[in-house]
Structure 1
């Protein structure tokens, strides 16, 4: 699992999550994602290259959403692949992301 961000963290350039977003990687990724979220004025998370996701990955997404809401910054999910969308919809949490849930990067 890899998290990539551009050097201009305050911009609207999305964070890109690549690889597995599962119980085996979520705990290690959480601090980096939270730090990057706090640094972005218009946070966006590109999930198009996530190859596997489980409920632990979803929990991190929900935590990021909650923290973004506390900061008054909508967290946009972009580039969501069918795997990610299936988990979000299966767990009935798509409404929590509302308009911030995008299917294209």
Structure 2
């Protein structure tokens, strides 16, 4: 299964559904950069992530390091169990 990524400039939400692994990392990175470049990205919704590996984790860490034009951090929200498990295993603080 591949990832389905959808960005709504109206809500500032980049939603990820499906796997976020090495096989989707390039596409996910492109979507993230495009959404960030729009100046509208506010948060990344992870409720639909079914699998996460270290490549996907790198994408999430990149997203978490970004700041909006108002200098507010982009937030990772609604982590799925798969996201929580990997974040905990990596010793990283929880997302919202």
Structure 1 vs Structure 2 CA RMSD: 2.2
Q: In the alignment, what sits opposite 1:2?
A: 4
Alignment of 1:1-105 (within 5 A): 1-6=3-8, 9=9, 11-41=10-40, 43-68=42-67, 72-94=71-93, 101-102=95-96
Higher strand share: 2
Question: What SS does structure 2 have at the residue aligned with 1:32?
Answer: helix
Residue segments in structure 2 that go unaligned for 5+ positions in a row = none
Tell me which moved more, 81-90 or 11-20: 11-20
Residues in 1 aligned to 2:57 and 2:70: alpha-carbon distance in whole angstroms: 20
How many residues are treated as equivalent by the alignment?
Answer: 94
Tell me which moved more, 18-27 or 34-43: 34-43
Following TM superposition, by how much is the alpha carbon of 1:61 offset from its aligned partner in structure 2, in angstroms?
A: 0.8
Which TM-score applies when normalising by structure 1? Answer: 0.76
Following TM superposition, by how much is the alpha carbon of 1:55 offset from its aligned partner in structure 2, in angstroms?
A: 0.6
CA contact (8 A) 1:41 1:73 kept: no
When residues 71 and 61 of structure 1 are mapped into structure 2, their CA distance, relative to the original with a 3 A threshold, is farther
Residues in 1 aligned to 2:26 and 2:70: alpha-carbon distance in whole angstroms: 22
CA contact (8 A) 2:14 2:41 kept: no
